[in-house]
Structure 1
């Protein structure tokens, strides 16, 4: 049986892509890589990873994922900053989902900051 592909859309096996970040076997090198790994965590229901990668100044005390949402795809639309040496970055994305049989999408412009050599999700603005 072939290895499971990573939900983030890179085409790589999960354990060579976002899975290693989820298991704390590495850290995201860029804001986009963190965003992709967070999308994969939503797909896989990994609340712990989502909370660990959320900046402490904006992180909620808990997170409940909607069990009726099935994430079906990710499109990264644009990135600004967020490179290996940057301190801040933005990633605009569209994440497709199905909820109770109806298709939808979350379109967001997310902000990320590097703190102590680790990227963290700061916040995001939803777009129509």
Structure 2
């Protein structure tokens, strides 16, 4: 299976490694790519684990995220810029017959020894 974050790589040699062991994501960009793949694959437990404890979605929000992420058709990820702790990206998806895009500059920090998503960078 191709990896959702980069169709030139196999999932088993890319994001699956982080999905099995979050500590293997050694950069903010690797964590961000693994989170995108988790959205595509509806791996909500990984999304929760890779989210900072102070901004982690509630159980109700988790159910809403799972419902939404399985209702859209994920198309592709473009990483536009990456620093040591931020990643600017565009994630394209099809919803209700229209192509939409999430464009965000995300902030990442380390918590409990591994990278986590904090939120949109200011």
- Into which bin does the TM-score normalised by the smaller protein fall? 0.7 to 0.9
For residue 94 of structure 1, report the CA deviation from its aligned partner.
0.3
* Higher helix residue share: 2
Q: Aligned to 1:45, which of 42, 46, 49?
A: 42
1:100 — aligned with what? 96
Q: Work out which of the residue numbers 2, 14, 37 in structure 2 matches 1:5.
A: 2
Residue in 2 that maps onto 1:116: 112
What TM-score, normalized to structure 2? Answer: 0.88
Aligned to 2:21, the other structure's residue is in SS state coil
Aligned partner of 1:71 in structure 2 is: 74
Distance between the aligned counterparts of 1:25 and 1:12, measured in 2? 19
Q: Which range moves more in the overlay, 69-78 or 117-126?
A: 117-126
Q: Deviations over 1:85-123 (max 9, x none)?
A: xxxx01000000000111110000100001232000000
User: What's 1:85 paired with?
Assistant: none
Structure 1 runs (4+) deviating above 3 angstroms are none
Structure 2 residues without counterparts, runs of 5 or longer: none
SS in 2 for 1:11: strand
Q: Is the 8 A contact 2:22 2:114 kept in 1?
A: no
Instruction: Specify every segment of 5 or more residues in structure 1 that has no aligned partner in the other structure, as ranges.
Output: 82-88
Ranked by relative contact order (alpha carbons within 8 Å, sequence separation 6 or more), the top structure is: 2
In 2, Cα distance between equivalents of 1:29 and 1:23: 14
